[in-house]
């Protein structure tokens, strides 16, 4: 076996595992911002569904599956779509792009909808289309399907936005050759409102991938 190439060395990893922040995007209260610039600002009186529909049409995504998604998936999809359209990632790189999302309420927004459809014995019509969204990581899957992302993915539930965890988890993936780039962030929707903030941690970034910077971008968004 002398001279044979070990299988693990055939994987196409970047030499550098140092991550920086390359791009970021946020969606909240009828506003979409990307890399610090407000790109859409709408009437805050709109419901989230009206707002999402408006963004879908304005951005000309032509992806009818969007209409079938639950509110959390729509929020996640919108934010990721705008962010990923801002950067160039090859299909080869997407094989090593990991996704790490988080929020507070998991899929409670849709869980409640589903519960309402099965509360009454007289009116017991559970919706399969609602049921399939009763997990928080489904929106993440929608993003991966749309962009053919094949890296590792994980969804975490925290009481609050947790920049230190995102930083450490993303860096751990990079250092252990599990990913070369990581799409990270927070995507939260409940009865009171919605806010999402996603960023791309990549060797191609220019902003330092530190807890302070992540917090600053999240707060400013």
Partner 1 sequence: MDALKKELKENIIEQLNLEEFTVEDIDNDDALFGDGLGLDSIDALELIVMLDKDYGIKLTDPEKSKEIFQSINVLAEYVATHRVK
| Site residues (vs partner 1, CB under 8 A) | 53, 64, 67-68, 125-129, 132
Q: Which is nearer to partner 1, 8 or 124 (CB)?
A: 124
Q: Which tokens belong to 212?
A: 């302070």
Shortest reach from residue 53's CB to partner 1, in Å: 7
Q: Which is nearer to partner 1, 141 or 203 (CB)?
A: 141
**C-beta of residue 102 within 8 angstroms of C-beta of residue 185:** yes
Shortest reach from residue 187's CB to partner 1, in Å: 20
Rounded CA-CA distance 85/73 in Å is 18
3-state secondary structure (DSSP) of residue 158: coil
Q: What is the DSSP string of 121-146?
A: STT----HHHHTT-STTHHHHHHHHH
Tell me the C-alpha to C-alpha distance, in Å, between residue 146 and each of 37, 97, 161: 25, 14, 26
Q: Which is nearer to partner 1, 8 or 125 (CB)?
A: 125
> What sign has the CA pseudo-torsion 174, 211, 157, 200?
negative
Partner residues linked to 27 by β-bridges: 32, 196
Q: Which is nearer to partner 1, 28 or 53 (CB)?
A: 53
Shortest reach from residue 205's CB to partner 1, in Å: 36
Shortest reach from residue 133's CB to partner 1, in Å: 10
Rounded CA-CA distance 190/80 in Å is 19
Rounded CA-CA distance 41/169 in Å is 32
Q: How far is CA 168 from the centre of its chain?
A: 17
Shortest reach from residue 43's CB to partner 1, in Å: 20
Q: Which is nearer to partner 1, 88 or 120 (CB)?
A: 120
Which of 171, 164, 163 lies closest to 217 in space, CA to CA?
A: 163
Shortest reach from residue 188's CB to partner 1, in Å: 23
Q: Which is nearer to partner 1, 68 or 148 (CB)?
A: 68
């Amino acid at each position: 076996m002398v001279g044979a190439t070990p299988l693990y060395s055939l994987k196409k990893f970047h030499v550098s595992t140092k991550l920086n922040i390359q791009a970021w995007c946020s969606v909240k209260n009828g506003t979409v911002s990307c890399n610090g610039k407000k790109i859409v600002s709408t009437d805050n009186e709109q419901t989230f569904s009206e707002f999402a529909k408006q963004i879908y049409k304005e951005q000309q995504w032509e992806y009818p599956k969007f209409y079938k998604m639950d509110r959390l998936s729509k929020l996640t999809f919108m934010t990721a779509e705008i962010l990923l359209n801002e950067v160039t990632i090859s299909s080869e790189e997407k094989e090593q792009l990991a996704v790490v999302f988080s929020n507070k309420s998991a899929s409670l927004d849709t869980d409640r909808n589903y519960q309402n459809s099965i509360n009454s014995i007289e009116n017991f019509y559970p919706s399969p289309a609602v049921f399939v969204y009763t997990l928080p990581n489904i929106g993440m899957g929608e993003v991966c399907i749309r962009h053919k992302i094949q890296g590792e993915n994980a969804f975490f539930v925290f009481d609050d936005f947790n920049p230190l965890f995102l930083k450490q988890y993303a860096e751990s993936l990079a250092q252990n050759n599990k990913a070369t780039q990581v799409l990270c962030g927070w995507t939260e929707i409940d009865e009171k409102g919605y806010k999402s903030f996603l960023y791309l941690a990549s060797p191609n970034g220019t902003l330092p991938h530190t807890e302070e910077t992540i917090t600053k971008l999240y707060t400013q968004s």
